Amino acid sequence: MKILLATNNLGKIREFEFLFNNSDFKLIHLREFSDKEIPETGNSYEENAFLKAKEAYRITKLPVLADDSGLEVESIGNKPGIFSARFAGQKANDDKNNKKLLKELQNKSDRTAKYVSVLCFYNPKEKIEIYTYGELRGSIGKEEKGSQGFGYDPLFNLKNTKRTMAEISFKERMNISHRTQSTKKMLAELNKLQNN
């Protein structure tokens, strides 16, 4: 089955390609049809993932896999959450977002955090809509460390380790990440559909 991946984020594309590598599904990229970013106007990860899936389906008429993910830091009310990509404003980049997060946490002793990933598989032709969830717990460091990964990874300290998400190899990342968890659950659901 061909599935459209509703993202133009190169970091996410690399991860999904790896995770789908040995599956029966072939990922098609949204950028083959459109290079426009789909607006995230929902009030939850689920809503944003669904909005992306719905719009990508409208453009391509293919079954769609869409993801919305974010970082939640407890001591600042689970921010940035669904605004993770644009925490420092609409034109934000990773550097600006990370600087803003460090500033907000300046006087906080509790730096507990988690990464969240919600996936939506959408195929209205077959009346199918499936959601899966993954999370990775850790804490936010006081400075950036490492050059792997993307987003908040240089600040995200993995639980029970002395390393950030940006200091581990891609292979290690693909064993533990929030996106890996939600994708493995999704692949199990898609395999069930395929076998029915």
CA end-to-end span of the chain: 14
Distance CA 56, CA 47 (A): 14
Q: Note the helical H segments in the chain.
A: 10-20, 45-60, 94-104, 170-176, 178-195
Facing residues of 66 across strands? Answer: 120
**Residues 191, 157: Cα–Cα separation, whole Å:** 34
Contact 142, 102 (CB under 8 A): yes
Active site residue 68: yes
Q: Which of 68, 95, 110, 153 is catalytic?
A: 68
* Residue whose entry in the numeric block shows the structure tokens 């990775």: 136
Alpha-carbon gap, residue 156 to 163, rounded angstroms:
8
Q: Could you tell me whether strands 112-123 and 79-80 are parallel, antiparallel, or unpaired per DSSP bridges?
A: unpaired
Catalytic positions, please?
68
